[in-house]
Structure 1
Amino acid sequence: MKAVIMAGGQGTRLRPLTSDQPKPMIPIANLPCMEHIVGLLKRHGFTDIAVTLQFMPEEIRDYFGDGSDWGVNIGYSVEDAPAGTAGSVKMAEKQLGLEGERLLIISGDALTDADLTRLLRFHEEKGSEATMVLKSVENPLDFGIVILEEDGRVSRFLEKPAWGQVFSDTVNTGIYLLEPSVMDEIPEEGEYDFSKELFPKLLEAGRPMYGYVTEDYWEDIGTLEQFASAQRDVLDGKVRDVRPPGTRLRENIFVGRRAQVADEKLEGPVVIGENTRIDPAATIGPYCVIADNVVVSAGASVERSVIADGTYIGDGAELKDTLVGRNSYVQARARILERSALGDDVIVGEGATIAPEVKVYPHKTIEAGANVTHSLIYETMGLRTVFKGGVVTGKFNVNLTPEFVTRLASSFGTTLDPGAVVTLGRDASRSAQVAKRAMTAALLGTGINIRDLRAAHAGVVRHDVLSGRSSAGVHVRAGADPDDVEILFFSSDATPMTEGDQRDVEKAFVREEYRRAYGEDIGELIYPGRVVEQFVERLERVVDRDKTAGATIVVDFYGGVAGLVASRVFSRLGIGAVVMEGFTNANVVGSGPGVDLEESIERVARIVPTVGAVFGAVVGPEAEQVRFVDDEGRLVPSDVMLACLIRTTRPRRSVFPINLSSGYRKLAEEGGGTVEISRTGIGNVAIKAAEARADLASLADGRYIFPSFLPAPDCFMTLARALEAFRAEPLSAVRQNFDDSFGNVVRERLECPWTAKGRVMRGLAERFGGDPDAILTEGVRLNADGGWVLMLPDPDNPVFYVYAEPGDGADPRALAGEYVELVRSLIEDGPAEPS
C-alpha cells in the first residue's frame, strides 16, 4: 500500500505567507507542514510516498529529495496544467507506477495526528472501496460536509455549503483510503475532482463508501488564523507525536542549536530556532515561534507571534500576535499589531506602525514613521535610494547581504572606465571582511583593477586615492550598531562620491545593467606596499612637528583599526602617547570595540592629569569622530570643542553646514576669518571644504575636516591640530570662554509623508522665495528675530525638520513654534501664516 501526499496547492488564502512558497512548506513549529505529514506516514508504516506537485514544485523537491533523510522513499509527480484533486492522483498513479495499489491520500498542507492504522482497520472491516476521514468542526462552511448512516456509510455529501445548507458539522478532511477499483473511475485526462465528481458518482452508483469519524487532531491550514492556531496547538501539546525541533529545556520551551538566548527569561510555551540571537534585554512572550537565524534586538517585545527564518527585529520594536515572513527587517521602534501578517523580504521602517489585520505582501518597503492601515498587495514601494547620506548602510545579512553588495559593486564598477583602479580597505569586523570580499569579486568581474589595503582605516584609503594611484576608493566598516555595515565611496580627489555619481550607480543597480569583463580584461588584484608609511609621511608634512614633539596625550582608539597606524604616527611626530586601546590585530577578524564609550571616556579622564597630558581623546571605531578630555580630566562637549578650535587656530576660511549655530561664524570672523555655508551632512561639508580650500570644517559632532591633509575627517590630523592648538594654551583655559554648550539652536521633528514633501517645499518657496535674505540652498533658511529659522526636509526619511536660533536672550522654541505650525499646515495641505 502506498501513500500520496497532495502538495500542489498555492494557498491563496494564506497570502502573503504563501506568495513566495508553496503552501505545504509553510512552517508549523519551525518545520514545514508537509514534514509533519511525512513523519505521520512513517510512524504508521507508510514508507513509499508519492507527492503531487504544481505550484513552485522545486521548493518541495529540493527540501525532501528522495526522502531518505526521513526514512522513506519519495517520488514526485508534477502537473503542468491543473488536473483537479483526483486527476493529480491519477497522474501520479500513472507516472510513478502505482496502478493496482491501494492508496492512502492525504494533504500536505493540513496538520493532523490521525490514527492511520485504525483507519486502515476500519476500511477493511467495512469492506469499503472509498473511506474518507471526517471530523466535527465549529465552522463547516469551508469544507465538504457529510452525513452518515448508523453503520458509517455515506448517505449525503455537499461540497462547501452556505449557512442555509449546513446540515452537518462533520466535514471531509481530505484524507482518503481508496481501492484500485475506485482509481479506475478517474479519467486519465482532464480536470477531475474527488469531492465534486468522483464521490458523488460513487454515491449515486451505490458503491460502498464509508466515513471514518476521528476524534484525533486535525487542522486545515487554510487561513492565517488557522495557521496561527495550529502553532499554538503544537506548543500546547495537543498534536500527538509532533514535537518542535531543538533541545527541550523545560516542559514547553524548545531551543535550537547555537541559539543565543537567556533561557531562564523565557516563559513557555515558546520555540527558538537554530543560530537565533535574542538580546537579553528583549522580551519573548508565551506562544512565540521564532525560526532559525533570527535576531531580536535589545528592547524588542515579541508576543504570540510567528517569526520566519532570517528575520531581523530591531531595537525597541513591538510585535503582537503577528506573522512575519522570511528575511524581513523590522527596524527600530516599529510596531506590528494584532492579526497582521508580513510576507518575505519586507522592510518595516523605523518607528512605522502596521495596524491590526493588515497584510503586507513580499518585497514591500514601509517608510519610516508610516502608519499602515490598509493591506499592501500590488502597490510596491521599493527602496528610494541605495545611498543614504552618501553612504550605503544596512544590517549585514538582513538588507545588506553579500548578494546585495555584489550587485552594488557591479553597478559601481560599470560606471567606471574599464581598467580603472579602485582602492579598497576595511575595518576588523567580520561583516566588513565578508562584504569587502563580495565587492572585490564583483569589481574584478567588471574589469576594474583593485588596490587591496586589507585592514586599514578610511583615512589610509582616502590618502591612497588622493595620491593619484586610484580613480576611486571604497571603505567597508561596521556601523555604530555592530550588526550594521557601512560602505563609503570616494571620488578621485578623495572627497565623498558626488550625488550625480551616486545616481549613476543607482541607475545601473536598479536596471541590473552590468559590464562584464572576459579573459585578459578581468581586473587585477594588487596588494601595494608602503601605503601606511606614505600616509604617515604626508601627515608629517602638514603638521608643525615643533609643536607636537615631546608632548604627551592619552588616546583610546576604542578598538578601531586606526590603532594599527597609531605607533608609527606618534613616533614620527614625536608624540609621547599613552594608548589605552588601539593595537587591534588586523589578522584577527572580528576584533572590535570591547569597552563602553562612557567607560572609555572616564578611563581617559582619570589618566590625563596623572601623566600630565596636554589632553585626552577617545577615537571612534571609524577613526573619524574624536571626543576630547581637557588637561584637567573633564570631557569637552563636541560643540564646545569646535568653538575652542576656532578660537585658538583662527582659521582663515571655514565651512559649516547651514543648520549650525551662527555663533561659529561670529567666532571665526572675530579671528579674522571667513565662513562659507554648505548643505547638511558630512559628505556635503567635505566636498564644500575641498572646493573652498578651507582650513577647517565640521558639523560640531566630533568630526573635524582639515583639507590641507585630507578632504574628510581623520582622527590623526584632528589630534595633531589639537596638539598644535593647545600645547601652549591649555584646553581647560580655552574652554572657560564658553558655557557647557555652544549656540542656541533647537530642532523640531515633524512626520511628513513622502507624497507631501514636494507640496511643503513648493509652499515654502512660494511663501518666502521673494525674500532677498532667504537662503534656498537646502530647505528654506530665513532671518527672523535677530536669528534664523531653517525648514529642512530629511533626504532619507519621511520627516521634516525645523531649526531655529533667535537673537541673544530669546526663547528658541517660541521662534521655532511659529514655523513648525506653518510646516505642519502645509503637510496637512492648509497653509497658515506665522505671526
Structure 2
Amino acid sequence: MKAVIMAGGQGTRLRPLTSEQPKPMIRIANVPCMEHIVNLLKRHGFTDIAVTLQFMPDEIRDYFGDGSDWGVNIRYSVEDSPAGTAGSVKMAERQLGLEGERLLIISGDALTDVDLGELLAYHEQKGGEATMVLKSVENPLDFGIVITGEDGRISRFLEKPAWGQVFSDTVNTGIYLLEPSVLREIPDPEEGEYDFSKDLFPRLLEQGRPLYGMVTDAYWEDIGTLEQYASANRDVLEGRVRGVRPPGTRLRENIYVGRRVQVDDEELEGPVVIGDNVRIDEGARISPYSVIGNNVVVASGAHIERSIVADGTYVGEGAELRDTLVGRSCYIQERARILERSALGDDVIVGEGATIAPDVKVYPHKTVESGASVTQSLIYETMGLRTIFRGGRVSGKFNVDVTPEFVIRLASSFGTTLSPGSIVTLGRDSSAAAQVVKRAMTAALLATGVNVRDLRAAHAGVVRHDVLAGKSSAGCHTRAGEDSDEVEVLFFSSDATPMTEGEQRAIEKVFVREEYRRAHEGDIGQLIFPGRAVEQYVERLERAVDRSRVSGGSVVVDFCGGVAGLVASRVFSRLGISAVVMEGFANANVVGGAPRMDLEEGLERVGRIVPTVEAAFGCVVNPTGEQVHFVDDAGEYVPPDVMLACLIRGLEPREVVLPINLSSRYAELVESYGGTVHYARTGMGNVAIRAAERAADLGGLEDGQYIFPAFLPAPDCFMTLARALELFRDRPLSKVRREFGERFGNVVRERLECPWSAKGRVMRGLAERFGGDPDAILTEGVKLMVDGGWVLMLPDPDNPLFYVYAEADDGRRPEALMQDYVRLVRELIESGD
C-alpha cells in the first residue's frame, strides 16, 4: 500500500514565516514539518510515497530528493493550478500510476504520532470504503466536524461551523485510508477544484457508502497559525509527540545540542534545542522552550526566552527575544527587543535599541531603524479573527479596539473581496466617532479600486435601500454602540441583508493573509454624493404601504436624537400621517456626541401625550432606527414580546420567521390563522437572511426589531410604524394587546460560564446524548421537545458562555423543567476540570 503526502499548502496564516518557503518546510524543533511525516510513514512500513506539490515545489523536491536518505521512495506530482485536496490526489494517481491502489492520505503540514497500523486494522475490521482519523480538540471552529455513530460509521459532516452548530468536538485530521472505489468517484482535475471534506465525502455519505471515523488519542496538531506552530515546538520539547526527537546530542533535562556548537552547556536550562554550528557567547542566556536553528550566533548579554530562531540569524549583544518567532538570516542588533507573540520574516534587520511591540509582524527583507518603536506590522498587519466580527458586525471601543488604523485594514480587506469598480454605499449616524470611522473606510475602499456612494448622515434603512435599489453591490453603516465610547460597523450584502458568515470569513481571510488589493492611478475609486437617495427610500416605502389605511392617522414618536429623524417629516408628509415628533434630528451636517436613549423616560413622556392628541399609538425609536418600543392608544407600554404577538394577530401572516429560542406560542398563533413559522438561528442577522430567503410576511425578535421583507430585509422603524398604523388605526392597539396579557409565552433562561476550551466538549456530549432523538432540532444548539414544553441548550458565539432556555405549557413551572438540563450542561462543562 502506498501513501500520499499532501504538501501543496502556502501557509498564508503562518506568514511572515512562510512568505518565502512552503508550509510543509517550516521547521518544528529544527526539522521540517514534512520530514516528521516521512519518518512517521517509514516507522509504520510505508516506504512508497507520493507527494502532491503546488506552492514553491522545488523547495520540497530539492530537500527530500528521491527519499533515499530516509529509507523511502518519494515521487512527486505538481499542480499547475489548484485542484483541491481530492483533485490533487487524483492527479497524483494518474501521473504516478497509482490507479487501483488502496491509498493512505496524510497532510505534510500537520504534526502527529498517530498509529497508522491501528488505522489500517480498524479500516479492515469495519470493511469501509473510506476511514478517516478523528481527533477531539478544544476549539473545533476552524476544522471540519465529523459525527459518528456508536459503531464508528460517519453520519454527518459540518465544514467550519458556528458555535451553535458544533455538535461534536471531533474533527477531521486530514488522514484518510481510501479504497480504489472511492478514488474512482473523484472527477478529472481539469473540471475544477474538488475537495475531500467539502465535495467527495458528503457525496459518498448521501449515497449511503460505508464511511468510518477512527477517534484517536494520539498527538495531532494542525500547524495552521503562528500560535499552533509555537505550541507544536513546545510539545516536541516536552516529549509529548511519540517518535519525534529533535536532532543533536541529548544532554540533561531535554537539552538537545547539534554538532560543532560553541556554548557552555552548564548555562543551558531545558528544554531547549540548539542546532548545528551555533555560537552562544559567554553571558548570553537561553531560557526554556527555546529552539535555536543552525548557524545562529547569540552574542554576550543577549536573552532568548520561549522563542524560535531560524537558521543563520545573528542576535546582538544585550538583545532580548521574548516568546517570539524569528525567520531565517535575520540581523538583530545590540539591545534590540522583540516582544511577545511577534514574528519576523526572513532577512529582517532590527536596528540597535529598536523595539518590536507584542503581536507585530515584520515581513521579509524589511529594516527597522535604530531606536525605532514598531507598534504596527510592516508592511502588512493582523489581528485575532475572533475579535473582528461579533454577532455579524464589527464593534468595539473607539480609538481603543476600533482605531482608524484598524478600520483602514478592515475596509481594505472588505474592498479586496469586491470586484474592482464595484460600488459600496456608506452612511453614518450623528456621532463624531462614526464620522471618523466612515471617512477611514472611504479612503481605504477608494484605494482598493472600489467606488463609494456617500450618503453622509443617514439611518441604516436608507443605506440598505440604496443597495437594494441596485445603486451599489454592498453597503456599510457606521454608528455609535450601546455604550457612549463604542462604535460599530454594519455590513450589508448585495440584497441588503446582513452580511453572511461566508462573506465575513472572506473578509477575515484577506485580513489574516494581509494581501490587500491596491489601485493605482486610473483605477482608484470615485467618491459619489448621490442627490436623491432619501427621496427614493421614501418612494419605496410609499409603494410598500397601503396609503389609504394610514393617511389621516396620528402617532407620537420619539427618535431619541437618531438620524432616522432626518427623513421623518418627508415620510409622514408623503403618507399623510399626522405625527407629533418628540425628539428628532434635523441637520445632516451636524456631528457631535453619540445620541443616547433613556427608554423609560421616553416611554413615560410619549405615554402622556398619546391620549391627549388621540393618537393611534406612540413609540420610542432607538437611535439606530431599527428598534421600536410601542405605547398603545391608552398611553400604556406594550412589551416587545406582546407587540410581536399583536403584529401577528393583526397581519394573520402566511409565513413568519422567528429565532429558535422564542416561545412556541408564537407558532401556535401563526398556525391558528393557517400560517407557518420557519425557525432561524438566533440573532437578527440570521433571522433577516432567513426572512428574505422565504419572502416571509414578518420576521422578528422579542426586542422591538421587526422585519417586513416586502420593504427591506432588515428592521426599519418607518416600515414598522406604517405597518402598525395599518393594523391598529381602526382597531385599537389597547384592545388587541389585552388578548395576550402582560407577557407572551413562558420562556426562562439561565446563563452559565463556559470556557472556550469546554464548548466543543459540551456540544459533543449533548449530541451524543440526544443526537438519536428524532424530535431533537439541531438548527442551532440542541433543542428538545419534551413532555409539556421544550428545552434549548445553546452556546454563545462570541463569549465564553452557555445558555439554557426552557418553556413549559402544561401548568408546570419552566424553571423546574430547565434545571435538569442546567445541571447536565454544568456537568459537561466541569467534566474536563
Shorter-chain TM band: 0.5 to 0.7
Q: For the residues of structure 1 that align with 2:574 and 2:585, how far apart are their CA atoms? A: 17
Assess, with a 3 A threshold, how the Cα gap between structure 1 residues 637 and 526 changes in structure 2: closer, same or farther.
same
Structure 1 match to 2:466 = 464
Give the drift of 1:817. 0.5
The question of 1:796 aligning with 2:805 is answered no
Q: For the residues of structure 1 that align with 2:807 and 2:579, how far apart are their CA atoms? A: 40
1:79-98 matched pairs, under 5 angstroms: none
The 3-state SS of whatever aligns with 1:487 is strand
Assess, with a 3 A threshold, how the Cα gap between structure 1 residues 762 and 381 changes in structure 2: closer, same or farther.
farther
Structure 2 match to 1:611 = 613
Give the drift of 1:739. 1.8
Q: For the residues of structure 2 that align with 1:452 and 1:595, how far apart are their CA atoms? A: 26
Q: Which digits, 9 at most, give the CA deviation of each residue in 1:77-100, with x for residues without a partner?
A: xxxxxxxxxxxxxxxxxxxxxxxx
Structure 2 match to 1:659 = 661
Structure 1 match to 2:683 = 681
The question of 1:453 aligning with 2:491 is answered no
Matched-pair contact (CA < 8 Å) for 1:385–1:506:
no
Structure 1 match to 2:762 = 760
Give the aligned residue type for 1:505. I
Give the drift of 1:583. 2.8
Structure 2 match to 1:549 = 551
Structure 2 match to 1:139 = none
Structure of larger gyration radius: 1
The 3-state SS of whatever aligns with 1:521 is coil
Give the aligned residue type for 2:772. G
From 564, 567, 580, give the equivalent of 2:566: 564
Assess, with a 3 A threshold, how the Cα gap between structure 1 residues 718 and 784 changes in structure 2: closer, same or farther.
same
TM-score (norm 2): 0.54
Matched-pair contact (CA < 8 Å) for 2:431–2:595:
no
The 3-state SS of whatever aligns with 2:658 is strand
Q: For the residues of structure 2 that align with 1:589 and 1:627, how far apart are their CA atoms? A: 26
Deviating runs (4+, > 4 A) in structure 1? 343-346
Q: For the residues of structure 2 that align with 1:605 and 1:697, how far apart are their CA atoms? A: 26
Structure 1 match to 2:497 = 495
Assess, with a 3 A threshold, how the Cα gap between structure 1 residues 782 and 747 changes in structure 2: closer, same or farther.
same
Q: For the residues of structure 2 that align with 1:649 and 1:428, how far apart are their CA atoms? A: 34
Structure 2 match to 1:4 = none
Matched-pair contact (CA < 8 Å) for 1:554–1:579:
yes
Structure 1 match to 2:523 = 521
Q: For the residues of structure 2 that align with 1:464 and 1:426, how far apart are their CA atoms? A: 14
Give the drift of 1:728. 1.3
Structure 2 match to 1:6 = none
Structure 2 match to 1:395 = 397
Give the drift of 1:821. 0.8
Q: Which digits, 9 at most, give the CA deviation of each residue in 1:232-279, with x for residues without a partner?
A: xxxxxxxxxxxxxxxxxxxxxxxxxxxxxxxxxxxxxxxxxxxxxxxx
Matched-pair contact (CA < 8 Å) for 1:584–1:592:
no
Q: Which runs of 5+ in 2 are unaligned?
A: 1-298, 302-338, 340-355, 360-373, 376-381
Structure 1 match to 2:414 = 412
1:30-429 matched pairs, under 5 angstroms: 382-429=384-431
Identical amino acids, percent of aligned pairs? 73
Give the drift of 1:596. 2.7
Q: For the residues of structure 2 that align with 1:762 and 1:745, how far apart are their CA atoms? A: 25
Matched-pair contact (CA < 8 Å) for 1:585–1:591:
no
Q: For the residues of structure 2 that align with 1:458 and 1:670, how far apart are their CA atoms? A: 34
Assess, with a 3 A threshold, how the Cα gap between structure 1 residues 710 and 688 changes in structure 2: closer, same or farther.
same
Give the aligned residue type for 1:812. P
Matched-pair contact (CA < 8 Å) for 1:756–1:827:
yes
Assess, with a 3 A threshold, how the Cα gap between structure 1 residues 748 and 345 changes in structure 2: closer, same or farther.
farther
Matched-pair contact (CA < 8 Å) for 2:596–2:623:
no
Matched-pair contact (CA < 8 Å) for 2:389–2:395:
yes
Q: Which digits, 9 at most, give the CA deviation of each residue in 1:344-367, with x for residues without a partner?
A: 889xxxxxxxxxxxxxxx99xxxx
Give the drift of 1:481. 1.0
Matched-pair contact (CA < 8 Å) for 2:555–2:578:
yes
Matched-pair contact (CA < 8 Å) for 2:758–2:832:
no
Q: For the residues of structure 2 that align with 1:647 and 1:596, how far apart are their CA atoms? A: 29
Q: Which runs of 5+ in 1 are unaligned?
A: 1-189, 193-324, 326-342, 347-361, 364-379
Q: For the residues of structure 1 that align with 2:597 and 2:704, how far apart are their CA atoms? A: 19
Structure 1 match to 2:735 = 733
Structure 1 match to 2:435 = 433
Give the drift of 1:511. 2.1
From 764, 788, 797, give the equivalent of 1:786: 788
Give the aligned residue type for 1:729. R
Matched-pair contact (CA < 8 Å) for 1:559–1:584:
no
TM-score (norm 1): 0.54
Q: For the residues of structure 2 that align with 1:764 and 1:689, how far apart are their CA atoms? A: 29
Structure 1 match to 2:744 = 742
Matched-pair contact (CA < 8 Å) for 1:704–1:718:
yes
| Larger RCO of the pair (alpha carbons < 8 Å, separation 6+) | 2
The 3-state SS of whatever aligns with 2:484 is coil
From 704, 707, 720, give the equivalent of 1:705: 707
Matched-pair contact (CA < 8 Å) for 2:597–2:622:
no
Q: For the residues of structure 2 that align with 1:664 and 1:687, how far apart are their CA atoms? A: 20
From 620, 623, 636, give the equivalent of 1:621: 623
The 3-state SS of whatever aligns with 1:519 is coil
The question of 1:476 aligning with 2:489 is answered no
Structure 2 match to 1:696 = 698
Q: For the residues of structure 2 that align with 1:830 and 1:432, how far apart are their CA atoms? A: 43
Give the drift of 1:747. 0.7
The question of 1:829 aligning with 2:831 is answered yes
The question of 1:769 aligning with 2:771 is answered yes
Assess, with a 3 A threshold, how the Cα gap between structure 1 residues 344 and 510 changes in structure 2: closer, same or farther.
same
Q: Which digits, 9 at most, give the CA deviation of each residue in 1:763-787, with x for residues without a partner?
A: 1111111111101111000011221
Give the aligned residue type for 1:565. V
Q: Which digits, 9 at most, give the CA deviation of each residue in 1:764-821, with x for residues without a partner?
A: 1111111111011110000112211001010001111111011231111111100111
Matched-pair contact (CA < 8 Å) for 1:785–1:807:
no
Give the aligned residue type for 2:797. P
Give the drift of 1:654. 0.2
Give the aligned residue type for 2:493. S
Question: RMSD of aligned C-alpha atoms?
Answer: 2.4
From 640, 650, 653, give the equivalent of 2:652: 650
Structure 1 match to 2:445 = 443
Q: For the residues of structure 2 that align with 1:801 and 1:586, how far apart are their CA atoms? A: 42
Q: For the residues of structure 2 that align with 1:830 and 1:461, how far apart are their CA atoms? A: 47
Give the drift of 1:611. 0.3
The 3-state SS of whatever aligns with 2:522 is helix
Q: For the residues of structure 1 that align with 2:547 and 2:695, how far apart are their CA atoms? A: 22
From 809, 812, 832, give the equivalent of 1:810: 812
Q: For the residues of structure 2 that align with 1:519 and 1:191, how far apart are their CA atoms? A: 51
Matched-pair contact (CA < 8 Å) for 1:689–1:696:
yes
Matched-pair contact (CA < 8 Å) for 2:484–2:594:
no
Structure 2 match to 1:95 = none
Matched-pair contact (CA < 8 Å) for 2:597–2:623:
no
Give the aligned residue type for 1:828. E
Assess, with a 3 A threshold, how the Cα gap between structure 1 residues 754 and 703 changes in structure 2: closer, same or farther.
same
Q: For the residues of structure 1 that align with 2:552 and 2:469, how far apart are their CA atoms? A: 30
Q: For the residues of structure 2 that align with 1:441 and 1:607, how far apart are their CA atoms? A: 46
Give the drift of 1:595. 6.1
Q: Which digits, 9 at most, give the CA deviation of each residue in 1:401-441, with x for residues without a partner?
A: 11110100000001111111100000010000000000000
Q: For the residues of structure 2 that align with 1:595 and 1:788, how far apart are their CA atoms? A: 35
Structure 2 match to 1:486 = 488
Q: For the residues of structure 2 that align with 1:619 and 1:814, how far apart are their CA atoms? A: 37
